[in-house]
Amino acid sequence: MAVSPSAATDKFLWGAASAAYQVEGSTTADGKGPSVWDDYLDRLHLAGPGISGAVAIDFYNRDQHLKDIALFKKLGLTSYRFSVSWPRIIPDGLGPVNPAAIAHYRQFISDLKAAGIKPMLTLYHWDMPASLAAAGGWENRDSVKWFERYADAIFANFHDQVDLFVLLNEPSVERATKTLAEAIRDNGKGDFKILPDADHMAVSLKTYNHILLAGAAAKKSFEVHGYKGQLGLALPLFPTINEDGASDADKKSAVLADGVLNRWFLDAMYKGTYPQDVLDMASARGLDTGVQPDDAKTIGDAHFDFLGVNFYSPMYVRHGAMPGDDFSAEQYLPKTVYSAFNGAVRPDQFKALLGRMKSEYGNPPVYITENGAGFAGEDVMKNGKVDDVQRCRYLVTHIAAMKSAMSEGADVRGYHVWSSHDNLEWLSGYASRFGMIYVDWDTQKRTPKLSADLYARVIRGDKVTEADCVARN
Ligand code: GAL
């Protein structure tokens, strides 16, 4: 399907995304405090020996980010989603605000705006101050207050420069990553399960609830201060699907997985209730989720201005192996399915997801806050070029799917590729590249890949199809 030229209207935002810890480096500069990720990688070496965020792609360095912003401008980006680092802004999480960090980000935002690029500021993309992580992080209900205070500092210092704020990024994937980090720390290995297993269900629902409450508290405070802008959360949404021939138990498990990963968040935000099937499962298992009677209503009453959708893939679900447990559900990836690092490649499911936001959740304004892919072995520099044909096709087909959902009424306001650059992919270290811009880890040299050229054409309004993703080497 071709991407319609009408996508390149003035208002629709065409952007790319990144997150502080994955790109900035300079992990002790300007009085920054340690984050839980400095602990994971530099102290505990959970991504392997020598893998550190200390340099990353050197984005904290203004000389470097100015060159990167010039590249963004050349590609035609009209929006850039980035995150600010809580332990830079408030080094110990709760104490005084660090003026050097504020000055740094104010300069960065001015540099973006000078290039005609709208800043989309994410307050929290997983780099929890180490002191707060040690106090239980999101498992501690006090985290709602901690975050509200941090958000107030961000609003006070940036409301005059920024009017698009993503409060929090991907609660369920953050939780799954933390579970994996702790398994590697304790046992040397672990599984990455975004759908929590029985042992992690209670703590997952508990942290999801606290993160949603933290977002609601920040939204309320923004309004009380009378600031102007749009606030939302970036949710990783996973259509939960079965293979052909699935049993009734498999289908039931997919519905429950949808409840835990999608409806738990969306029902609270748009209906002011938590889904009954998940609450019933929690009470049948005797789980202590810490959810209090008015929590979902408080979240619904926040009336977030937009929904940030991070979409990579649907999730295959089947009935798990737990005997006698009706609710046992597990995620898996069928061996025969074409997939990227983050799962099955299914643009049709992206379209279906956006349609669902319209039919089931009142068609909220949506920004695609992340969409992208990486493929093992694809990003190889040859004759000065990187022909990432699979990523190029992934992006073109997913943009076409989004446009098709929009033509059927989905209210999508912007699209951000994950990621602008290759960067530090959390516990996978530097091994999994996701960027449109290739980064040589030794020299920090940048090279836009084939996918960047095609994305620039999409932004210009050219009719582009996946057949245009042709290797140049
Ligand atoms: C998301 C996450 C990003 C990035 C991306 C690629 O879940 O928000 O930080 O890592 O996945 O895997």
- Note the pLDDT of residue 9: 42
Tokens representing 214? 């933290």
> Is the pLDDT confidence value at 2 over 80?
no
Find tokens 């000389």 and name the residue. 63
Q: What is the mean pLDDT of the chain?
A: 96
418 touches ligand 1 (CB under 6 Å): yes
- Note the pLDDT of residue 328: 83
**Best residue among 172, 312, 370, 371 to mutate for probing ligand 1, ranked by most atoms within 8 Å of CB:** 370
Hey, what long-range contacts does 241-246 have (CB within 8 A, 24 or more apart)?
Answer: 241/314, 241/315, 241/316, 241/317, 241/349, 242/316, 242/317, 242/318, 243/316, 243/318, 243/334, 246/318
* pLDDT tens-digit map of 310-343: 999 999 999 986 555 666 899 999 999 999 999 9
CB 309 within 8 A of CB 369: yes
* pLDDT tens-digit map of 92-149: 999 999 999 999 999 999 999 999 999 999 999 999 999 999 999 999 999 999 999 9
Strands of 329-332's sheet in order across: 240-241, 315-319, 329-332
- Note the pLDDT of residue 1: 44
Tokens representing 107? 């300069």
Band (198; pLDDT cuts 50, 70, 90): confident
d(CA 66, CA 59): 9
CB 430 within 8 A of CB 41: no
Q: Which of 4-13, 160-169, 259-268, 279-288 has the lowest mean pLDDT?
A: 4-13
CA-closest residue to ligand 1 atom 10: 425
233-259: average pLDDT: 96
203-225: average pLDDT: 98
DSSP string, 225-253: TT---EEEEEEE---EE--TT--HHHHHH
- Note the pLDDT of residue 28: 98
> Is the pLDDT confidence value at 10 over 80?
no
Q: How far is the CA of 83 from the centre of ligand 1 (A)?
A: 12
> Is the pLDDT confidence value at 67 over 60?
yes
Reported pTM: 0.97
- Note the pLDDT of residue 39: 98
* pLDDT tens-digit map of 286-304: 999 999 999 999 999 999 9
Helix %, strand %, coil % for the chain, to 5? Answer: 45, 15, 40
Q: Is 370 a catalytic residue?
A: yes
434 touches ligand 1 (CB under 6 Å): yes
* pLDDT tens-digit map of 201-210: 999 999 999 9
- Note the pLDDT of residue 3: 46
Angle between helices 264-271 and 201-224 (to 10 degrees): 30
Grouping H, G, I as helix, E, B as strand and the rest as coil, residue 362 is coil
> Is the pLDDT confidence value at 346 over 70?
yes
169-180: average pLDDT: 98
61-67: average pLDDT: 98
466 touches ligand 1 (CB under 6 Å): no
d(CA 180, CA 192): 6
Q: How far is the CA of 236 from the centre of ligand 1 (A)?
A: 9
d(CA 311, CA 294): 30
> Is the pLDDT confidence value at 78 over 60?
yes
Q: In sequence order, which residues have a C-beta less than 8 Å from that of residue 443 and are 6 or more positions away? A: none
Tokens representing 212? 């949603």
- Note the pLDDT of residue 367: 98
> Is the pLDDT confidence value at 15 over 90?
yes
- Note the pLDDT of residue 325: 62
213-225: average pLDDT: 98
425 touches ligand 1 (CB under 6 Å): yes
169 touches ligand 1 (CB under 6 Å): yes
Band (195; pLDDT cuts 50, 70, 90): very high
CA-CA-CA-CA torsion sign (460, 462, 464, 468): negative
> Is the pLDDT confidence value at 79 over 90?
yes
Q: Which of 24, 170, 174, 370 is catalytic?
A: 370
126 touches ligand 1 (CB under 6 Å): no
d(CA 410, CA 280): 32
